[in-house]
Structure 1
Amino acid sequence: MDQHAGNQPETTLVPGNLDITQDAVVIVPGIMGSELRDASTGRTVWGLSGVRWLIDAWTRPKGLKALHMTDAELDGAAGRLEPVQLLRHSAWTPYLKGFEPYTDLISAVHACVAHPAAVLEFPYDWRFPVTTNGRLLAAAARRHLSTWREHPAHTDAIRARVDQRPARLVFVAHSMGGLVAQAALDPFHDGDLPADTRAVITLGTPFHGAVKAAAILNTGHGAPAPLPHQRLKSLCTNLPGLHDLLPQYLCMLDGADARHLTPADIEHLGGNRELARLAADSAAKRAAISLPGHRAVVGTNQTTAQSMTLRDGVLHTHCHTVRRNSDHTLVREPDGTLKLFDVQGDGTVHKESAALGTAVTHLPLHHGAVASDPFALRAVQEVLREDTHLGPPMGGPGCGLDIPDLARPGHPWELSLTGLHSPAGITCRITTADPTRPAPPLAPRLHSAGHRLAATITLPAPGLYRVTVTTRDRRHISQMILAADHP
Structure 2
Amino acid sequence: MNSPWGGTLQNSSYPVEPGLVPAVTHDAVVIVPGIMGSELYDTKTEKVIWGLANPGWLAKAWLTRTGLKPLQLTHDELAGDNGRILARRLLQTPAWSPLLRGIEPYHKLVRTIENTVAHHDAVMTFPYDWRLPVATNAHRLAKEAREHLQRWLQHPAQAAARRQAVDERPARLVFIAHSMGGLVTQAALTLSADTDLAADTRGVMTLGTPFKGSVVAANILNTVQGGPLPLPHNRLASASATMPAVHDLLPRFLCLEDGLKVRHLSPTDVADLGGDKELFKASQEFFAALERHEMPHHRPVVGIRQDTVQSMKLINGHVYASEYCFRTDSNGALKSDAHGRPLRYRVWGDGTVHRESASLKRRTIPIFAQHGALAAGRQARLVVTDFLLEDDHLGPDQAEEGIGLNVPDYVTPAKPWDCSITGSDDPAEVTCTIAATDEDWKRPIQLESIDDGKLGSKVTVPQMGLYRVTATTDYGVTVTQLVFAGPDGDTYLDD
Normalising by the smaller structure, the TM-score range is over 0.9
Partner of 1:4: none
Matching of residue 192 in structure 1 with residue 196 in structure 2: yes
5+ long unaligned stretches in structure 2: 1-7, 491-495
Match 1:67 to one of 58, 65, 71: 71
**Alpha-carbon distance, 1:18 to partner:** 5.3
Q: 1:368 aligns with which of 369, 372, 395?
A: 372
Q: TM-score, normalised by structure 1?
A: 0.95
Structure 1: 5+ residue runs without aligned partners? 1-8
Q: CA deviation at 1:16?
A: 6.0
**Larger displacement relative to structure 2 (448-457 or 197-206):** 448-457
Mapped pair 1:426 → 2:425:
no
Query: 1:448 is aligned with what amino acid?
Result: S
Q: 1:321-380 deviations in whole A, cap 9, x for unaligned?
A: 111123321111122211000111001000000012244111111001110111111111
> In structure 2, what is the Cα distance between the partners aligned to 1:390 and 1:97?
32
* 2:173 equivalent to 1:163: no
Q: Secondary structure at the match of 2:190?
A: coil
- Give the 3 Å change call, closer, same or farther, for CA 236–310 of structure 1 in structure 2: same
Runs of 4+, deviation exceeding 3 Å: 12-16, 387-393
Instruction: Tell me if 1:96 matches 2:107.
Output: no
Q: Which moved more, 1:379-388 or 1:311-320?
A: 379-388
d(CA) in 2 for partners of 1:17, 1:292: 30
The equivalences for 1:387-466 within 5 A come to 388-389=393-394, 393-396=398-401, 398-434=402-438, 437-439=439-441, 441-451=442-452, 452-466=454-468
What SS class does the counterpart of residue 35 from structure 1 fall into?
Answer: strand
1:246-265 maps to which residues of 2 (within 5 A)? 246-265=250-269
The 1:60–1:20 alpha-carbon spacing in structure 2 relative to 1, beyond 3 Å, is same
Shift of the 220–191 alpha-carbon distance from structure 1 to 2, 3 Å rule, reads closer
Residues 266-316 of structure 1, C-alpha deviations (whole Å, 9 max, x = no match): 001100000000111111111122222100110010110100010111110
Q: How does 1:224-303 map to 2 (within 5 A)?
A: 224-303=228-307
State the aligned residue count. Answer: 475
Post-superposition shift, 1:447?
Answer: 1.3
The within-5 A match list for 1:123-138 is: 123-138=127-142
When residues 93 and 188 of structure 1 are mapped into structure 2, their CA distance, relative to the original with a 3 A threshold, is closer
For 2:62 and 2:261, how far apart are their aligned partners in 1?
A: 38
Partner of 1:6: none
- Larger CA deviation: 52-61 vs 179-188: 179-188
Deviations 1:136-155 (A, max 9, x none): 00000110111110111110
Cα deviation for residue 392 of structure 1 reads 5.3
Could you state the TM-score of these two structures normalised by the residue count of structure 2?
A: 0.93
Q: Which residue of 2 aligns with 1:344?
A: 348
Q: 1:432 offset after TM fit, Å?
A: 1.2
The 2-side partners of 1:59 and 1:282 are apart by: 35
Partner of 2:478: 476
Distance apart, 1:32 and its partner CA = 0.6
Aligned twin of 1:205: 209
- Bigger Cα displacement from structure 2, 157-166 vs 273-282: 157-166
Partner of 1:5: none
User: Deviation at 1:472?
Assistant: 2.9
CA distance in 1, matches of 2:52, 2:196: 38
Secondary structure in 1 aligned to 2:287?
helix
Q: Comparing 376-385 with 447-456, which one deviates more in the overlay?
A: 447-456
What is the CA-CA distance between 1:188 and the residue it aligns to?
4.3
Provide the residue aligned with 2:10 in structure 1: 11
Separation (CA, whole Å) in 1 of partners of 2:115 and 2:395: 17
CA distance in 1, matches of 2:405, 2:330: 34
Closer, same or farther: CA 210–353 of 1 in aligned 2, 3 Å:
same
Change (3 A) 1:344 1:17: same
Aligned-partner residue type, residue 447 of structure 1: E
Residue aligned with 1:430, SS? strand
Task: Read off the aligned partner of 2:470 and give its amino acid letter.
Answer: T
> What is the aligned partner in structure 1 of residue 4 from structure 2?
none
- The aligned amino acid for 1:340 is R
- The letter of the residue matching 2:472 is T
Cα RMSD, aligned residues only = 1.6
Q: State whether residues 382 and 391 of structure 1, in contact with CA within 8 Å, keep that contact through their aligned partners in structure 2.
A: no
Q: CA deviation at 1:442?
A: 1.2
Pick from 74, 78, 84: which aligns with 2:82? 78
Distance in structure 1 (CA, Å) of the matches to 2:187 and 2:62: 31
1:53 aligns with 57
Q: Secondary structure at the match of 1:335?
A: coil
